[in-house]
């Protein structure tokens, strides 16, 4: 039996940077440390942060603590959040992914120039909500090509299209294909980060040759959900798990080639634990 772990599996640059910023603040122990929402979508990591003394801020910004440091999560936040934290006198440590900050700049400038903002992404995702908060004019979220046609009817003749950094590359391309037919002046900026593109492409390629595909990540992780969707389209025996404890022998029974990938919020140690568990099934002749 062959076990192949995708080279791109696990923490991306932005997530690793955000997690390290939280850990650094907690180790400094200069006062209470808070995160604006879960710093990343991984229950193992957020559980460790809580165990170290970190606390998530309440969504109600009128109930902020009197002192401490607040780490803005990797998904970013709107200008109202920064203003509320500063008014309260809290120290802000900004762990927003640099690629997300780039999108904030694009939509803010487009709005100020009078363009409608179109965001290809999941309307319920915190990154998309934060991006919307930086728009000063009309802005719409497009989840797929089917939604694009109706949204374009509402948009102004001049618009800019960006994407959630972890959006599906295929869905983005499907949306872009509709734009020339609209006759609108739409500036398309592909803001899906390179790490996401590479991860999705590698997962698709690996899934095509695997008997079983294992996708590791948090249930609420948008990029991991998309990886699972991509893998299932190529490999029906795709398992979406959070930790090695979710995997059992029946999941990989009879497999000669197992592929493993993981979302951008999955620590390396969890990937290694899953690999070791697969190896233990092989050594126990469970196949």
Among 151, 278, 127, 122, CA closest to 213: 278
Q: Which of 127, 146, 229, 273 is catalytic?
A: 127
Number of neighbouring beta carbons within 10 Å of residue 188: 16
Where are the alpha helices (H) located in the chain, listed in sequence order? Answer: 13-28, 43-51, 79-88, 98-112, 126-133, 145-154, 169-182, 194-209, 222-234, 249-252, 268-283
Give the 3-state DSSP-derived string for 111-167, with helices as H, strands as E and coil as C: HHCCCEEEEECCCCCHHHHHHHHCCCCCEEEECCHHHHHHHHHHCCCEEEEEECCCC
Q: Could you tell me the two tokens for 168?
A: 């599906």
Is residue 178 within 8 Å of 148, Cβ to Cβ? yes
Active site annotation includes 229: no
Residues 6+ apart with CB under 8 A from 214: 238, 239, 241, 247, 251, 252, 258, 259, 260, 261, 274, 278
Count how many residues are written for the chain: 287
Is residue 144 within 8 Å of 174, Cβ to Cβ? yes
Residue 122 Ramachandran class (φ > 0 left, ψ -120 to 50 alpha, else beta): beta
> Can you tell me the distance from the alpha carbon of 166 to that of 168, in angstroms, rounded to the nearest whole number?
7
Measured CA distances, 186 to 94, 158, 194, 242, 265 (Å): 31, 6, 23, 39, 32
Active-site positions read 127
């Amino acid at each position: 039996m062959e076990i192949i772990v995708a080279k791109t599996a696990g923490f991306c640059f932005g997530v690793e940077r955000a997690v390290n910023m939280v850990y650094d603040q907690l180790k400094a122990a200069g006062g209470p440390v808070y995160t604006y929402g879960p710093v990343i979508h991984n229950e193992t990591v957020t559980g460790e942060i809580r165990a170290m003394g970190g606390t998530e801020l309440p969504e109600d910004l009128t109930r902020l603590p009197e002192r401490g440091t607040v780490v803005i999560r990797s998904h970013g936040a709107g200008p109202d959040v920064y203003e509320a934290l500063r008014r309260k006198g809290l120290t802000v440590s900004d762990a927003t992914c640099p690629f997300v900050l780039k999108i904030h700049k694009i939509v803010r400038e487009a709005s100020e120039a009078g363009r409608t903002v179109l965001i290809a992404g999941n309307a319920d995702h915190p990154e998309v909500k934060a991006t919307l908060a930086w728009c000063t004019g009309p802005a719409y979220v497009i989840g797929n090509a089917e939604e694009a046609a109706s949204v374009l009817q509402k948009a102004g003749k001049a618009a800019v299209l960006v994407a959630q950094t972890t959006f599906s590359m295929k869905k983005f391309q499907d949306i872009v294909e509709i734009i020339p037919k609209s006759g609108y002046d739409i500036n398309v900026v592909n803001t899906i980060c390179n790490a996401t593109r590479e991860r999705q492409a590698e997962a698709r390629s690996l899934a095509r040759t695997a008997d079983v595909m294992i996708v590791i990540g948090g249930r609420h992780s948008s990029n991991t959900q998309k990886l699972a969707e991509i893998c299932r389209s190529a490999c029906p025996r795709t398992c979406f798990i959070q930790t090695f404890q979710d995997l059992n022998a029946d999941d990989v029974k009879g497999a000669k080639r197992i592929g493993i990938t993981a979302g951008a919020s999955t620590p390396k140690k969890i990937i290694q634990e899953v690999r070791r568990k697969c190896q233990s099934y092989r050594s126990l002749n469970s196949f």
